[in-house]
Amino acid sequence: MHQRVSLVTGAARGLGLAVARELAAGGDRVHLVWRTSSDRASQLEPEFAGRLHRADLLESAAAHAVVGQVLEAEGRLDRVVHAVGDFESGRLDQLEPETLRRLFESNVMSAWNLVAAGRQAIRASGGAWLFFGCAGLGGGRARTQAAGYAATKSALALLVRSMAKEEAPHGVRVNMLSPGIVPHDGAHADTLNPARQAAIPMGRTGRPEEIARAAAWLLSEDSGYATGQDLEVAGGWLL
Ligand SMILES: NC(=O)c1ccc[n+]([C@@H]2O[C@H](COP(=O)([O-])OP(=O)(O)OC[C@H]3O[C@@H](n4cnc5c(N)ncnc54)[C@H](OP(=O)(O)O)[C@@H]3O)[C@@H](O)[C@H]2O)c1
């Protein structure tokens, strides 16, 4: 049995870091991608020695370079978790075109650059992909507080489902994990908004570790017949 090799993006903090640690605890050899968090990345060096990669995934060449570095070091790649995705709240009549473009780039194009770079490697290993959505995408509901963000996550959700169908004959699974409100050191200030928190039916916000355990399950053989799914882990928020 070979050791599984995983690549986790957005991994210098927050949900990406929690997933990286959960997969490492489960025995994976985990590579992490960060972009601007150099201090956090250097603090993680003892834990993930030689497996921290700096890349701006808005650049296709950078995505190819980071996948290339992992393949050169490990010879294989089994799992990719993409935890990048900027958030922005606000009314639609205040949403600047440039903001919507930035959200689309961050939530959709960064994912797609990574897919283009890693598709063949994941097919070769018969591995799995996991992307991050957000709770409340189902049914095309109106999201007046964060419509631009939700629209870009919806675009990603459709790409994920279509990709799942296309990759299934290659033995590859593709799923999405959609958190509710999960504060962490470095999270968007809206995760601390009392009015939003008060609307969570379970009465509390989520914890990064809870998201990470759900991610590990979606990547594991325990969910081995599930593909093209969007699992909400949100305490009932926006049901
Ligand atoms: N936390 C929540 O409540 C929540 C709720 C619903 C959905 N989500 C989704 O879950 C995912 C993770 O959330 P999070 O709260 O952990 O996010 P986060 O704190 O914003 O962290 C995202 C990380 O992505 C990295 N990143 C951003 N743009 C990048 C780029 N172009 N290239 C490479 N890396 C880039 C950043 O790295 P650097 O710091 O190194 O720049 C950042 O650390 C996101 O997709 C988010 O939309 C989160």
pLDDT tens per residue, range 25-62:
999 999 999 999 999 999 999 999 999 999 999 999 99
Q: Which residue has the higher pLDDT, 143 or 47?
A: 47
Residue keyed to tokens 């995934």? 57
Inter-CA distances, 239 with 90, 137, 139, 228, Å: 21, 10, 10, 20
**Where would I find the beta strands (DSSP E) of 24-91?**
29-34, 52-54, 79-82
Q: Which two tokens stand for residue 121?
A: 């490697």
Asked whether the predicted pLDDT for residue 145 surpasses 90, the reply is no
CA distance 216 to 236: 21
Domain 5-233 has CATH 3.40.50.720: yes
Least confident of 28-37, 137-146, 154-163, 190-199: 137-146
Closest CA to 83 of 157, 166, 147, 176: 176
Asked whether the predicted pLDDT for residue 149 surpasses 80, the reply is yes
pLDDT tens per residue, range 166-211:
999 999 999 999 999 999 999 999 999 999 999 999 999 999 999 9
Asked whether the predicted pLDDT for residue 1 surpasses 80, the reply is no
**Nearest-CA residue for atom 1 of ligand 1:** 182
Q: Which two tokens stand for residue 236?
A: 């009932």
Q: Is 149 a catalytic residue?
A: yes
Asked whether the predicted pLDDT for residue 147 surpasses 90, the reply is yes
Residue 34's pLDDT is 98
**Nearest-CA residue for atom 7 of ligand 1:** 134
Q: What percent of the chain has pLDDT over 70?
A: 100
Q: Which two tokens stand for residue 113?
A: 């650059």
Q: Which residue has the higher pLDDT, 141 or 125?
A: 125
Contacts 24+ apart (CB under 8 A), 188-192: 188/87, 190/87, 190/89, 190/146
CA distance 33 to 41: 9
Residue 140's pLDDT is 85
Residue 46's pLDDT is 97
**Nearest-CA residue for atom 27 of ligand 1:** 84
Residue 153's pLDDT is 98
| Ligand 1 atom with the shortest distance to the CA of 17 | 16
| Ligand 1 atom with the shortest distance to the CA of 35 | 40
Per-domain boundaries in the chain: 5-233
**Nearest-CA residue for atom 48 of ligand 1:** 179
> Separation of 16 CA from ligand 1 center, angstroms?
7
- Ligand 1 pocket list (CB less than 6 A): 9-10, 12-16, 33-37, 55-58, 83-85, 87, 106, 110, 132, 134, 179, 181-182, 186-187, 191
Contact residues for 227 (Cβ-Cβ < 8 A; gap 6+) = 164, 167, 168, 173, 174, 175
